[in-house]
Structure 1
C-alpha cells in the first residue's frame, strides 16, 4: 500500500525555515534561506508552485493574514513585510535592528506580532495601518513565539518565557505626543507587563513553542531532545499537571542515545494532539493529555525543520533541510524538500477520543 504522502515539486534551493497553510485552503507558504518565499497549491498530488516572492535576505518566518491573499514575512533583512500574494506587492510595516525570528497573526485582535533578535516585540495594529507599530522590550533574545485566541507565549534565551494577554497588546498604542511619521516605520516603545513570567521546565535552550488550540496551555521543545507540556492556569492543581519527556533520540552502535534538537512543534487544530519534528529526521504525533506517543512516521532524508497542519486538520506538511540536526539553521549540505501527508480519519486522534 502506497504511503499517503507526496513530495512537492520545485522545492526551495536552500534550507527551509517555516511552512504555513492558508486559513481556508490548501495553499502553503514556504520560507527559505535562499531569500525567497514560495506559494504552493497542495490540493493535488505533487502540488503546484504558484509563485515565488524574492526578498533581500534569508526569510526566517511567514504567516497568513485574514485570508488566502494576505501574508506577512520577516527575516535577516530586519524588516517585517506585508505581502499581497496576488500582486506580489511588498510593504514594509516596521524595521527591527537585528534579524526577525518569528511572526504571528491574530485575526480576533487584528494585530501582527514580530519577535526579533534585537530583543524586542513589535506590535502592528492592522486595523489602523496609518499608525506606527508599538515595541515591547524583552529581557532576552526571543527564539519562538505562538498564540492562542487570548494569549501570546514568548520563549527566550536563558530559559525564560513570558505570556502576554492579547487584548492588552491590541489596546496598547502610542499617545498623541509620541506620534511620528508612519513612513519612517519606526516602532514606538511602550511599557507592557506580561500576564505571567515563567522559567522553562526544560534544562537546555528552547527551540520551539506552540500553543494548544483550546487556549489551555502550550508545548515547548529544546535542543536536547525533550518536550514540555504546560497549562496557563496558575493554580497549584493545574501547575502540578505540567511535565516533560524525552524524544527524538536514537541509540548508536554502542547502545548510547544520540540526542537531537526538537526543531518544530504544531498542534492539530481539531483534536488538540501535536506533532514534533526533530534533527533525527523523524516526525512524531503525541497525545499531550494522555502523555503518550500516538505514532512515528518513517525517517526522512534530512532533519525536520518545520511542520504544519492544514486549517481543517486533514493534512500535515513536513519540511526537511540540512543543518537542523544540531540547531545550526542554513548550514550544511543535504536534501531540501517539503512533503504533504493526508491524515486518516483517526490518525491524529488522541487515545480515548471519540
Structure 2
C-alpha cells in the first residue's frame, strides 16, 4: 500500500465543517458535502473541481446514485437531488426535522434517508415518492450503511440490520459496546458484516464469510494513556477496502487515520496525525485511493 498523499485545495475553499466525502461508484470523482451549504464534485484524477452547487442549508450527508446523480441531506430537512452534469438541483421531499443520513441501494433503486424526526424513509428515485417509513425509532439515527440488500443502522448504543426487501422489522439487533454510544457504522462490501465505532474509541467487528470463517471482536484503536488517564477519542468513521479482504480504515476525533487487518488483528499503517478531527473517509472503487476529510466534525458543530 502506497503512503503517497496530497491535499485538495479549492479556488473557493470549504468555509465550514465537512460532513461527508464519497468516491463515485466507477470513477475517481469525489463528492463532498459540508456545512457551508455547497455540494462539490472533485475530479481527483485530473485535479479539477467539476461542480460547485450551493443550496440554502447546511449539508449533513451525501451519496451517489451513479456517476451522474447524487443526493444530499440538509439541515432544513430537505432531501435534494443533484444532476452532476448540469448542476440542476431538485427537491425530492423532506423530513419533519433536520435530515442527517443518506444511503443508496443500487439493487432496488431506492434512496434511504434519516433525520432528527426519528424516521427512516425509503424513496423511489424514479417518482421521488416515499415507499416506506420507519417511525418511532426511539432515538435519532446516528449512522447508516448500505451493502447489497442489507441496511445497517446505528441508534444510540444499538446496531440494527434490515433487509430492504422486508423493511418493517430488523432481522438482527445487537449492542456491540455494552452501553457505549455509537458514532459510526460501516458495512463490509464483500460479505455479511459490519464495523462499529464508538465515542470512547472502540471498534467492534462482526464479519461472516463463506465456510467457517467468522470474525467477531472488539478493540480500542489507541490503547494508551495521557497523564495517567485512559485515552478516549471518538471513532468518527470507518471504511473497508473494496478489494482487499479484511482491510479497513478508522479515523478518529484526534486526527488519527489507521489501516487495520481484521483477520490478523494488526495495525498495518498509521498516518501522521492530521491537524483536525477526521470527519469522513472514502476508498475509490479500485481500493487504491483513500480520501481523508480533516475537519471539525458534525457532532462538534452540534455542540457549539
2:62 matched to which residue of 1?
Answer: 62
State the 4+ residue runs in structure 1 displaced beyond 4 angstroms: none
> 1: distance between equivalents of 2:278 and 2:253?
6
Alpha-carbon contact 1:60-1:100 (below 8 Å) kept: yes
With over 3 angstroms needed to count, the CA separation of the structure-2 counterparts of 1:27 and 1:331, relative to structure 1, is farther
- What do residues 54-91 of structure 1 show as CA deviations (whole Å, max 9, x unaligned)? 121110101111x2111011121101111101111112
Q: How many residues align?
A: 297
Q: As a proportion of its length, which structure holds more strand?
A: 2
Q: Tell me what 2:85 maps to.
A: 86
Task: Give the greater-gyration-radius structure (CA).
Answer: 1
Instruction: Note if contact 1:248-1:279 (Cα within 8 Å) is conserved in structure 2.
Output: no
- Pick one of 174, 198, 205 that aligns with 1:222: 198
Counterpart check, 1:95 vs 2:94: yes
Instruction: Output aligned runs, 1:108-257, within 5 Å.
Output: 108-126=107-125, 128-129=126-127, 131-137=129-135, 138-157=137-156, 159-169=157-167, 192-231=168-207, 241-248=215-222, 251-252=225-226, 254-257=227-230
Question: Deviations 1:94-121 (Å, cap 9, x if unpaired)?
Answer: 2101111111111111111001121111
Which residue does the alignment assign to 1:37?
A: 39
Matches within 5 A, 1:12-51: 12-44=14-46, 47-51=47-51
Deviation at 1:150, TM superposition (A): 2.4
Q: In 2, distance between residues paired with 1:130 and 1:298?
A: 44
| 1:226-305 paired onto structure 2 within 5 Å | 226-231=202-207, 241-248=215-222, 251-252=225-226, 254-272=227-245, 273-305=247-279
Higher relative contact order (CA 8 A, sep 6+): 1
Specify the alignment match of 1:337 in structure 2: none
**Which sections of structure 2, spanning at least 5 residues, go unmatched?**
none
TM score, norm. by length of structure 2: 0.91
* Partner-residue secondary structure (3-state), 2:165: helix
**Residue by residue, what CA displacement relative to the aligned partner does 1:257-311 show, whole Å, maximum 9, x if unpaired?**
4321111111110013111001111100111222221111111111111110001
Q: 1:227 to 1:130 in 2, by over 3 A?
A: closer
TM-score by length of 1: 0.78
8 Å CA contact 1:24, 1:311 repeated in 2? yes
Rate the CA distance shift 1:85–1:293 in 2: closer, same or farther, 3 A.
same
Paired with 2:73 and 2:24, the residues of 1 have a C-alpha distance of 17
Query: Considering only aligned residues, what root-mean-square deviation do their CA atoms show, in Å?
Result: 2.2
Structure 1 alignment gaps of length 5 or more? 170-191, 333-354
| SS in structure 2 at match of 1:5 | coil
**Deviations 1:32-51 (CA, angstroms, capped at 9, x unpaired):** 1111111111104xx22222
The 3-state SS of whatever aligns with 1:328 is helix
The alpha-carbon distance between structure 1 residues 79 and 232, as it changes in their structure 2 partners (threshold 3 A), is farther
Contact 2:105 2:149 in 1 (8 A): no
